[in-house]
Chains A and B, each alone.
Chain A
């Protein structure tokens, strides 16, 4: 019976299968990047990959989980700091970047127990306080030497070109890995539960969703991703100055990329990161006017395209490249009364 059921749950389309294929091909091409790209392009792309990580993790947290945090720089800074500490303790430098992010993820778990009890605005501010506290604590470490900072000297063991390529590959792997994990997570039943919590926490609990545990998963995953981005940023700049890493600017960038690209859409933030990267490349040198421009752009988007570029595309064209939803396809040609469809659905 079920094989002939007139009702099917659809998750993929030809377009989305094609998009994933293109994404895979692009990843392979990018992986070969250091073989044919110049040092400058490699560095630029590394930066872009880090921006994408920042955008997709903030979107997962805020756009899908409804958890608007303005303190993600806490994890960005801790990721970098963790890498400095681990490298100092003798851990090989590239594994140290990933290990630092894992450790930050572990620390994020107990933090989540406190923070996720806070509602909306309180949570946002609370996270900012967490970032300020993390910054203070890191400054107490003698290794960091206050705001003077320190550097990831272990990186100097590599020749410049090797180092740039290794950092590039690590960033690419981190970006693709995180996008993959988030895509799988958001498509899973857990992802549906996360969105249900975003839309209505009490109603989610009323249909059996374990709200706290579910939010914790997305919170920790986002913390891990941002920490990885922070550690990678350290690998690109080598120097660690707490003020730079624990700066709220990182979260501002995340918010910009996600709002412009499309909050709560899977594709949008990736697009937002690319746009942000381009804007920075063109106008970044203009100092304060660049920041004013960013702010104005974010405001315009919030006013006129509240769902961002991809939200607009989705609304206009119904274009879904990387769909996480579920759609029912009802075969209209099959004879179907209400009760008939019930039977065939339940077999």
Chain B
């Protein structure tokens, strides 16, 4: 309840995640306020994707708790968290390959979004259109190239009607023009009231959207705050940039 009054929608406390002997998340305390746009950076293997998976319910944490709007959601499976409004994309796209783009997003609208008939159709069309995929709407997902698969990840997540959107490297491999389109889209979503967590290696894209930046390294949050300050942080420079910046 106090969390809610701070405007915090999603928070973790003391999250640990181990894969066998490998510690991937090490005491993560993270909180996200409603309408906030947070960027996450960090070197390969830092545990960014794993954090997203734990937030979305794809992996149970080894220990620690996750709260959403004041309620403990640690034990909830991914489907239920999605229905509550916590929706993620996948770093490696996971399309429903035998189904069309429209059907992919429709499944999200009817399940995660819990919409029916025309409302579900409209939601899916809106999401597809926002991601610039109208012309591909009837294509089977297995025929899409990597960039379009990434777009589909975003469209499908939006179909589920999120209040918290968790994005995992949706901006890789884009041309400058495509990247600025993507930034415009994410900004539009943010302006419409979504809270956003965006993992991205391409920092200059991220900085156009993120109001707050988190840097992870070796399963820990090593910096968290105003983006420029975080990028200038010594720990960040040595971890993320390998100390070789400038």
Is there a chain A Cβ closer than 8 Å to B222's Cβ?
no
User: In this complex, what residue of A is CB-closest to B89?
Assistant: A206
- How far is B111's CA from A206's CA once the two chains are assembled, in angstroms? 10
- How far is B118's CA from A2's CA once the two chains are assembled, in angstroms? 10
Given known A-B contacts A189-B110, A330-B134, A338-B129, A209 and B79 have beta carbons under 8 A apart: yes
Is there a chain A Cβ closer than 8 Å to B102's Cβ?
yes
Is there a chain A Cβ closer than 8 Å to B182's Cβ?
no
- How far is B111's CA from A192's CA once the two chains are assembled, in angstroms? 10
Q: Is the CB of A206 within 8 A of B78?
A: yes
Is there a chain B Cβ closer than 8 Å to A317's Cβ?
no
Residue from A192, A198, A208, A209 having most chain B Cβ neighbours under 10 A: A208
Given known A-B contacts A7-B125, A192-B107, A193-B110, A206 and B88 have beta carbons under 8 A apart: yes
Q: Is the CB of B125 within 8 A of A207?
A: no
Q: How large is the interface on B (under 10, 10 to 19, 20 to 34, 35 or more residues)?
A: 35 or more
Q: Is the CB of A196 within 8 A of B134?
A: no
- How far is B120's CA from A207's CA once the two chains are assembled, in angstroms? 13
Is there a chain B Cβ closer than 8 Å to A27's Cβ?
no
Q: How large is the interface on A (under 10, 10 to 19, 20 to 34, 35 or more residues)?
A: 20 to 34
Residue from B78, B88, B118 having most chain A Cβ neighbours under 10 A: B78
Is there a chain B Cβ closer than 8 Å to A264's Cβ?
yes
Task: Please encode chain A, from 181 to 211, with 1 for each CB lying within 8 Å of some chain B CB and 0 for all others.
Answer: 0000000010011011011101111111111
Q: Is the CB of A9 within 8 A of B121?
A: yes
Q: Interface majority SS on A: helix, strand, loop or mixed?
A: helix
* Contact of B106 (CB < 8 Å), options: A326, A330, A347: A326
Q: Is the CB of B118 within 8 A of A207?
A: no
- How far is B90's CA from A328's CA once the two chains are assembled, in angstroms? 25
Q: Is the CB of A345 within 8 A of B126?
A: yes
Task: Please encode chain A, from 307 to 347, with 1 for each CB lying within 8 Å of some chain B CB and 0 for all others.
Answer: 00000000000000000011110100000001101100111
User: In this complex, what residue of A is CB-closest to B119?
Assistant: A346
Q: Is the CB of B79 within 8 A of A210?
A: yes
* Contact of A206 (CB < 8 Å), options: B87, B110, B116, B121: B87
User: In this complex, what residue of B is CB-closest to A192?
Assistant: B107
Is there a chain A Cβ closer than 8 Å to B112's Cβ?
yes
Residues of B within 8 A of A195 (CB): 96, 98-99, 103
Q: B-side interface residues toward A, CB under 8 Å? A: 56-58, 77-79, 82-83, 87-88, 90, 94-100, 102-104, 106-108, 110-114, 116, 118, 120-123, 125-126, 129-130, 132, 134, 137-138, 141, 156-157, 159-160
